[in-house]
Amino acid sequence: MYTEKKIDKEGVVPIYYQLKTMIKEQVEGGRWKPDDMIPSERELSEKYKISRATVRQAINELVQEGILYRKRGMGTYVAKPKINQGLTKLTSFTSDMQRRGHKPGSKVLHMKVVPPSKKAAEALMLDAEDEVVELFRLRLADDEPMAIEKTFLPLEKVSPLLNDSLENKSLYAELKEKCNLDLVQATQTIEISYPDQTEAQFLGIRENEPVLLIERTTFLENSIPIEYVCSLYRADRYKFTIEMKA
Task: Write the Ramachandran bin of 75: left for phi over 0, alpha for psi from -120 to 50, otherwise beta.
Answer: left
Contact footprint for ligand 16G (CB under 6 A):
92-94, 149, 151, 170-173, 214, 216, 227, 229, 231
Q: How far is the CB of 94 from ligand 16G (least distance, A)?
A: 3
User: Nearer to ligand 16G by C-beta: 92 or 117?
Assistant: 92
Angle at the Cα of 67 (from 229 to 241), degrees rounded to 5? 45
Q: How far is the CB of 22 from ligand 16G (least distance, A)?
A: 34
Are the beta carbons of 106 and 169 closer than 8 angstroms? yes
Q: How far is the CB of 81 from ligand 16G (least distance, A)?
A: 19
CA distance 117 to 127: 10
What ranges in the chain are assigned the alpha helix state H? Answer: 15-28, 41-48, 52-64, 93-99, 118-124, 155-158, 171-177, 197-203
Q: How far is the CB of 209 from ligand 16G (least distance, A)?
A: 18
Q: What's the start-to-end Cα distance of the chain, in Å? A: 38
User: Nearer to ligand 16G by C-beta: 20 or 169?
Assistant: 169
User: Nearer to ligand 16G by C-beta: 20 or 137?
Assistant: 137
Q: How far is the CB of 158 from ligand 16G (least distance, A)?
A: 12
β 224-234/144-154 pair status:
antiparallel
User: Nearer to ligand 16G by C-beta: 45 or 170?
Assistant: 170
User: Nearer to ligand 16G by C-beta: 32 or 172?
Assistant: 172
Identify any residues that bridge with 105 across adjacent strands, giving them in sequence order: 140
